[in-house]
């Protein structure tokens, strides 16, 4: 008979090359804490239902607590000979207290429901960490917005100068975008935080288990009731990967603007020396490598999503080993997302937008001429299409003469030829970049008062999110503490004979 815990049906040991090809201990190291916590909750449920005796439960709890503490110290490692985290933990329990007691731990469960439970527990913790990091980033963007409502930036369409905006409008735009990313991350958490433990291999069990107990002790919102669905599905992983892909695409847009605006030709953004590198041959170079790498790593996240979608598309119901390939890809995506959120946050805090340069460019690039057209509609009762045509023609003539909107005498003369009387002061006030920006008054516009209104609403939304985030984190911490308390109480009773 083979020596594996599952070896009763086998007459030979697994081939070494097969073991090497199928083992997951290197990947499973992130799941150790959750496998032990899950085992404690499972055992508490078995003991509560008198499926496992108090004596056996006490001894198993004692072994699991020893493993838990070893893992907390960083001294618990997984043996590749035992294939995965589940067989490692069970084998270590049996080695500690013998098969008569330790061999009862796996009653009414399967590695099929264990692995999904562990993955969900690990993933939800990481999703909370990512949300906390992104929350901090959004909070910084809103604080920067509060400080910059009267500072000029340039708004672009087609990467061509469009209209002057406030720097606060730009910061708050990304805050608004990332708040939707936070909502998607929260949704991914909610889909992930469902209990599948007790589904067993795929069909449930004939033991009278109580899945509500494990849900409570593991901090899950509720049970994913259908056992076949619970063990077969990885849609929570797909939803998370999709959420990561959208978040990284938004990060990439910000990174692209950092790279472009930092270029000599634009000169709109100064990157701190600590977030740039030089050239091995060109002494003058200061390269925006952090932002470039953010853009590059988007492809890796997109790749994870496509790999996962490909992995599940041909898998029949019930557990298949195809599904164990979700973790290496998911772990990589988690690491990239956490690192990128943190580094991009620091990058923005340590970059300086050149509003003086932006204002100068707004004069030169005719981005305020739309406001002149609006003025002619509002004050001179011209149809917008006529005003649009006249100001377009004016732009052409100024460009041809290598002049800009500061040449108010030329503009006054041009308008006079169209029977429109405006003084040079009226013209200057009409097209001054800062006044154009401040004049915008529609809901959601770049005007300082409107931006302040938006920032206030976004801050309220962020605070509401923070409250929910703190509650979720506390629920998980309380659940783990409750599980550990049960384990320690049972251990003490075993020691004292109570």
Domain containing 379 equals 367-439
In the chain, which stretches have pLDDT less than 70?
Answer: 1-3, 6, 22, 498
84 and 130 in a common domain: no
Q: Of these residues, 11, 158, 206, 280, which one is catalytic?
A: 158
Q: Is 166 a catalytic residue?
A: no
224 and 116 in a common domain: yes
The pLDDT of residue 498: 63
Q: Is 428 a catalytic residue?
A: no
CATH of residue 144's domain is 1.20.200.10
- Whole-angstrom Cα distance, residue 228 to residue 112? 10
92 and 240 in a common domain: no
- Whole-angstrom Cα distance, residue 409 to residue 425? 10
Name the token pair of 460: 């309220």
Could you give the 3-state DSSP secondary structure of residue 145? helix
What HEC string does 26-75 produce? HHHHHHHHHHHHHHHHHHHHHHHCCCCCHHHHHHHHHHHHHHHHHHHHCC
**Domain end point (choices 419, 439, 459):** 439
- Whole-angstrom Cα distance, residue 451 to residue 170? 10
The pLDDT of residue 23: 74
Phi then psi for 222, rounded to 5 degrees? -170, 180
Establish if 418 belongs to a structural domain.
yes
**Domain end point (choices 354, 377, 411):** 354
Establish if 444 belongs to a structural domain.
no
| DSSP helix, strand, coil percent of the chain (3-state; round to 5) | 70, 5, 25
Count of CB atoms situated within 10 Å of the CB of 388? 17
Establish if 371 belongs to a structural domain.
yes
CATH of residue 385's domain is 1.10.40
Phi then psi for 272, rounded to 5 degrees? -60, 145
242 and 266 in a common domain: yes
143 and 101 in a common domain: no
Contacts of 215 by beta carbon, 8 Å cutoff, 6+ apart: 195, 221, 222, 223
86 and 145 in a common domain: no
* pLDDT tens-place string over residues 213-261: 999 999 999 999 999 999 999 999 999 999 999 999 999 999 999 999 9
135 and 172 in a common domain: yes
Phi then psi for 152, rounded to 5 degrees? -85, 140
Establish if 488 belongs to a structural domain.
no
Establish if 128 belongs to a structural domain.
yes
CATH of residue 96's domain is 1.10.275.10
Q: Which residue has the tokens 């931006």?
A: 451
166 and 260 in a common domain: yes
The pLDDT of residue 2: 47
**Domain end point (choices 395, 414, 439):** 439
Establish if 477 belongs to a structural domain.
no
End-to-end CA distance of the chain: 40
321 and 229 in a common domain: yes
The pLDDT of residue 134: 98
- How many domains does the chain contain in total? 3
Task: Assess contact for 345 and 133: CB atoms under 8 A.
Answer: yes
The pLDDT of residue 3: 64
Task: Taking each helix axis as running N to C, give the angle between helix 111-147 and helix 326-349, from 0 to 180 degrees, rounded to the nearest 10.
Answer: 10
State how beta strands 194-195 and 160-166 pair.
unpaired
173 and 267 in a common domain: yes
Q: H or E segment at 96?
A: helix 85-97
Q: Tell me the chain's radius of gyration from C-alpha atoms.
A: 31
Establish if 130 belongs to a structural domain.
yes
Q: Of these residues, 99, 249, 263, 279, which one is catalytic?
A: 279
Establish if 457 belongs to a structural domain.
no
Could you give the 3-state DSSP secondary structure of residue 107? coil
325 and 428 in a common domain: no
267 and 225 in a common domain: yes
Please write down the long-range contacts of 124-130, taking CB distance under 8 Å and 24 or more positions apart: 124/189, 124/192, 124/193, 124/476, 125/476, 126/334, 126/338, 127/185, 127/188, 127/189, 127/192, 127/240, 128/189, 128/469, 128/472, 128/473, 128/476, 129/338, 130/185, 130/334, 130/337, 130/338, 130/341
């Amino acid at each position: 008979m083979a020596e594996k815990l599952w070896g009763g049906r086998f007459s030979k040991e697994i081939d070494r090359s097969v073991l090497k090809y199928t083992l997951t201990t290197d990947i499973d190291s992130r799941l150790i804490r959750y496998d032990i916590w899950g085992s404690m909750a499972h055992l508490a449920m078995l003991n509560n239902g008198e499926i496992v005796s108090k004596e056996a439960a006490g001894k198993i709890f004692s072994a699991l607590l020893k493993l838990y503490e070893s893992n907390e110290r960083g001294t618990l490692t997984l043996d590749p000979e035992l294939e995965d985290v589940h067989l490692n933990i069970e084998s270590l329990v049996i080695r500690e207290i013998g098969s008569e007691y330790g061999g009862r731990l796996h009653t009414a469960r399967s590695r099929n429901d264990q692995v999904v439970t562990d993955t969900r527990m690990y993933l939800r913790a990481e999703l909370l960490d990512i949300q906390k990091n992104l929350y901090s980033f959004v909070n910084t963007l809103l604080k920067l917005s509060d400080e910059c409502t009267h500072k000029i930036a340039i708004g672009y369409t087609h990467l061509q100068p469009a209209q002057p905006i406030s720097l606060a409008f730009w910061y708050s735009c990304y805050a608004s975008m990332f708040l939707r990313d936070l909502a998607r991350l929260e949704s991914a958490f909610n889909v992930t935080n469902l209990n599948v433990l007790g589904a067993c291999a795929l069909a449930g069990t004939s033991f009278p288990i109580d899945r509500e107990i494990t849900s409570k002790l593991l901090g899950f919102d509720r049970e994913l009731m259908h056992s076949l669905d619970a063990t077969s599905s990885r849609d929570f992983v797909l939803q998370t990967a999709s959420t990561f892909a959208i978040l990284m695409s938004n990060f990439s847009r910000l990174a692209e603007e950092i790279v472009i605006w930092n270029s000599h030709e634009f000169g709109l953004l100064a990157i701190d020396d600590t977030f740039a590198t030089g050239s091995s041959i060109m002494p003058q170079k200061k390269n925006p490598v952090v932002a470039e790498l953010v853009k590059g790593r988007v492809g890796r996240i997109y790749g994870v999503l496509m790999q996962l979608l490909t992995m599940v598309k041909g898998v029949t119901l019930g557990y298949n080993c195809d599904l164990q390939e979700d973790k290496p890809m998911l772990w990589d995506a988690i690491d990239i997302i956490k690192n990128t959120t943190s580094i991009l946050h620091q990058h923005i805090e340590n970059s300086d937008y050149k509003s003086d340069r932006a204002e100068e460019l707004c004069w030169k690039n005719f981005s305020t001429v739309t406001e002149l057209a609006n003025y002619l509609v509002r004050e001179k009762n011209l149809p917008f299409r006529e005003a649009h045509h006249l100001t377009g023609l004016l732009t052409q003539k100024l460009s041809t003469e290598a002049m800009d909107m500061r040449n108010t005498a030329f503009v006054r003369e041009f308008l006079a030829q169209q029977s429109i009387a405006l003084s040079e002061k009226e013209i200057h006030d009409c097209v001054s970049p800062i006044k154009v920006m401040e004049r915008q008054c529609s809901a959601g516009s770049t005007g300082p008062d409107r931006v302040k209104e938006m920032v206030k609403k976004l801050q309220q939304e962020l605070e509401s999110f923070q409250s929910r985030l703190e509650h979720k984190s506390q629920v998980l911490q309380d659940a783990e503490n409750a599980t550990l308390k049960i384990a320690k109480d049972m251990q003490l009773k075993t020691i004292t004979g109570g």
